[in-house]
Structure 1
Amino acid sequence: MIRHERLTAMLQLLAERGSLSVDEAVEGLGVSHATVRRDFDHLAQQQLLSRTRGGAVTANVSYDLPLRYKAGQQASEKERIAQKVVELLRPGSVVGLNGGTTLTQVARAIALDERFHLEGQAEGVTVVTNALNIASELVVRPHIKVVVVGGVARHRSYELVGPLASRVLDVISIDTAVIGVNAIHPERGAMVFDEGEAGINAQLAERAERVVVAADSSKINLRAFTMVLPLSGIDVLVTDRGADPEAVKQFANAGVEVVQA
């Protein structure tokens, strides 16, 4: 297990249990006591956990992990969700994407979809994004036109936020906005942890003819700090088959089309 995977697994164990001893981490990860202690110290320096005598506990910010530690969570579900999202997109259209691991998978699925390789056209699709990692992956694809909004980069999500991003979004039109969120609730709508991201994500949705929220089942029925969109602002929710059936029914009753991958 490489270090990145080990740190991700360690944070997942910690999130599930709330606290983790060195011995428990050794047993769960199959590494030495010395390795676990070094990893605990490394994550504590990044304020992703708090060290205790003989272990660690969750830190106040551990719910909002940096993107690099989220990649392995619900990975197969996110790939299936991404494929379903791309099936909803039309060649030649303008697609808005915000950040996050699910949206990164959506971007990769767009890049590989042969429908967007249109003969006789320079671009098979235009992607407007405020996510630096998504832009860097797509910019090398000649059939994809990439429009990046300006702003200040958040180190956790690689998303650009602030007035500069708003200025760009004020003057463009989007066919379909695909929004990744930290939580979606049948009563409270789609939410994220950071208020700066929430504002840009909401504006991205406002500029679109159709809004698709992509969220794996682990985010269903959760709440986060700031609302991005009420359910009335969401046309389609794409999730996986592990989603709570009662919540799916509530979304559908609220007029949201639910697609399960």
Structure 2
Amino acid sequence: MLERQRHQLLLELLDEQQFASVADLTTQLNSSEATIRRDLIKLHKEGRLEKIRGGAQRLQGAPMPSTKTHITGSAFLVNKDKATTAKRAIAQRAVQMCDDGELIIVNGGSSTFMMGEFLSQRDVSVLTNSYYLAQYLCDNGQNQVTVPSGEIYRKQGIILSPFENDSIQNYRSKLMFTGTAGIGEFGVMETDSLLVRAEQKLRKQAEKLVVLADSSKLGHKSNFILYPIDEVDVLITDDGADAQMVESIRAHGVEVILVPLAQSIAQAV
């Protein structure tokens, strides 16, 4: 992540929380404590925040931030740098499910973003609410790319509309691909109700649901159940996944594809 991107995220977190400790910022921005402390000093000198003992807060007397609703959950640019080898291997396997000439629906997220590298080499049309994926495909491929109307939520890199009529209902696809905050017998999890609403609108336009989740997501729970587990058609994860958890998901009729991670690492090297 570039310094300016990290600074923007840091300031957005202060808009949301008013105050944040160094430890909290270290976790949320996936950065070292030394890096965060340097950021706070620099932004304090620039008059963009107030550095206080143990952390930082919004400038006293500064205009209140926009009333635009914040979405709960970690930032795309932070998640993108986590479990990258597994996510890339999972994304590659997901794209192998696509047929040339077809339209697919791709929900925004760091795992599905990784599909861009492989989709850009294919004759596949893409409907996505991911600002970052749409930008990547436009810059690197010849894919026909469609995005719904709406506002861009920078932190998650997601395009969301408050209206039902946002063009999504005009499309139909065999496959929808989505990431998740967590998955298990309880279902597919999400962090925010706004994201749940947007993703369920996309799901209505696809015949099959394919979930991309690295092994750390199996068994992990979050705030909301996006889909019951028996609504998932395919789960693609890496072979580091807990065997018992995999079997419990398969017992609900889900096809589970295990991507061999060791082989993927060897190919990357």
Give the TM bin, normalised by the shorter chain: 0.7 to 0.9
User: What's the CA shift string for 1:220-246, capped at 9, x where partnerless?
Assistant: 111112222111211000111121211
- Can you give the 5+ residue segments of structure 1 that lack an aligned partner in the other structure? 8-17, 22-27, 45-50, 117-123
Contact conserved, 1:133 with 1:158, CA < 8 A, in 2? yes
Whether contact under 8 Å (1:184, 1:221) holds in the other structure is yes
* Cα pair distance change 1:202/1:37, threshold 3 Å: same
The equivalent position to 2:73 in structure 1, one of 40, 64, 67, is 64
The residue correspondences of 1:103-252 to structure 2 (distance < 5 A) are: 103-112=112-121, 116=122, 124-140=123-139, 143-164=142-163, 167-187=166-186, 189-252=187-250
The answer on whether the counterparts of 1:151 and 1:165 sit within 8 Å (CA) in structure 2 is: no
SS in 1 for 2:225: strand
**Counterpart AA for 2:147:** V
- Residue correspondence of structure 1 range 30-49 to structure 2 within 5 A: 35-39=35-39
1:97 maps to a residue whose letter is: V
SS of equivalent residue, structure 1 residue 144: coil
Structure 1 runs, 4 residues or longer, greater than 3 Å off: 1-7, 18-21, 28-31, 39-44, 51-56, 140-143, 163-167
Q: Is the 1:186–1:251 contact (alpha carbons within 8 Å) kept by the matching residues of 2? A: yes
Q: For 2:80, give the aligned amino acid.
A: A
Q: Distance in 2 between matches of 1:37 and 1:168?
A: 44
Q: Distance in 2 between matches of 1:148 and 1:244?
A: 36
Aligned residue type for 1:37: R
Instruction: Give yes or no for contact 1:182–1:219 (8 Å, CA) kept in 2.
Output: yes
Q: How many residues align?
A: 221
Structure 1 residues 152 and 244, CA gap change in structure 2 (3 angstroms): same
**1:254 Cα deviation after fit:** 0.3
TM-score, normalised on structure 2?
A: 0.71
Q: Percent identity?
A: 27
CA deviation after TM superposition for structure 1 residue 163, in Å: 3.4
Measured in 1, the distance between the counterparts of 2:152 and 2:2 equals 27
- RMSD between superposed Cα atoms in Å: 3.2
Distance 1:138 1:164, change over 3 A: farther
1:235-261 CA deviation, whole Å, 9 max, x = no partner? 000111121211110110000000111
Residues 63-83 of structure 1: CA deviation (Å, up to 9, x unaligned): 822111222100100000011
Cα pair 1:252 1:258 within 8 Å, conserved = yes
SS of residue matched to 1:228: strand
Letter aligned with residue 39 of structure 2: D
The verdict on how the C-alpha distance between 1:163 and 1:30 changes in structure 2, with shifts beyond 3 A counting, is closer
- Ranges in structure 2 where 5+ consecutive residues have no aligned partner: 8-20, 25-30, 45-50, 57-69, 260-269
- Flag the 1:29–1:224 CA change in 2: closer, same or farther, 3 A: closer
The offset of 1:43, in angstroms, is: 9.8
CA–CA distance in 1 between the matches of 2:249 and 2:43? 37
Contact kept? 1:212, 1:234, Cα under 8 Å: yes
Matched, 1:83 2:92: yes
Whether the 8 Å CA contact 1:111–1:138 is kept in 2: the answer is: yes
What letter is aligned with 1:179? T
Normalising by structure 1, report the TM-score.
Answer: 0.73
SS at match of 1:167: coil
Going from structure 1 to structure 2, the CA distance change for 1:244 and 1:5 (only over 3 Å counts) comes to farther
